[in-house]
Amino acid sequence: MKKYIFISFSLLSLTLWGQASQDNIQANLKGHFLVGLSSSNFNFQYILNSDESGQKGESFFSGDLNAMYLTSNNFGIGAFVSYRYNDFLEFNYDKRYYLVIGPQMRYYFNSKNKIIPFFEAGVGYVDFLKLDADGFLFNAALGSSFFLNKNIAVDAGIIYTHSNVTYNVSSGYYTLSGSVSTNGFGLQLGFSLVL
């Protein structure tokens, strides 16, 4: 957690001291593509199994690639692909990695400052590559874009993720079936390119 605070502080300092002109940044967003990379680290999540027993999870990590078309100065729609790790205790360690793909939207709040707040949300299909398991995922994030210039922004925020996965795990002579729901909050860091 300390490294994320340090990184956020460093990026904020670079943004505030940047010499690039910030005039009319929002006026240039409409009609552009926004391509971004981000990662999230969840230190808190709550896991609910199909037998309704809950537990606190150990960790949650995601790496996301997203692309959006900005239909206005404030609104963009697009899609994201996410590579994730989650602490599903029912699964073997090497099978806790999975992909998520789905639509996504971002709304920039009207701001003429160097820092532009945003709300972002997306839903996705969850696919485990090494396991008979799938489901859905919902993301919602509140954050800010720190524009270094008219084409490059550093993003930071708080993200909430909910997922629901059903599975069939075969091991030896038995098959384990059920579902796992997770709810987690984490810190999201990344950057965006306005093309």
SS (H, E, C) 38-59: EEEEEEEEEEEECCCCEEECCC
Other C-beta atoms lying within 10 Å of the C-beta of residue 131: 21
Closest by CA to 157, choosing from 120, 102, 114, is 120
**23 contacts: CB under 8 Å, gap ≥ 6:** none
Query: Beta-carbon neighbour count of residue 27 at 10 Å?
Result: 10
The Cα–Cα gap between 17 and 167 comes to 50
What does the pLDDT read at residue 10? Answer: 53
Cα-atom radius of gyration of the chain, to the nearest Å? Answer: 19
Alpha helices, H only, the chain? 2-17
The confidence score (pLDDT) of residue 61 equals 82
What pLDDT was estimated at residue 179? Answer: 83
Q: What are the boundaries of each domain within the chain?
A: 2-194
Q: How many residues does the chain have?
A: 195
pLDDT tens, residue order, the chain (195 aa): 555 555 555 544 544 444 444 455 666 788 899 999 999 887 666 767 666 666 666 667 889 999 999 998 889 999 999 998 876 666 665 667 889 999 999 999 976 677 899 999 999 999 987 778 889 999 999 999 998 888 899 999 999 998 888 888 776 777 777 888 888 888 999 999 999
Q: Which CATH class is domain 2-194?
A: mainly beta
In this predicted structure, what is the pLDDT of residue 142? 97
Instruction: Report which DSSP code applies to 4.
Output: H
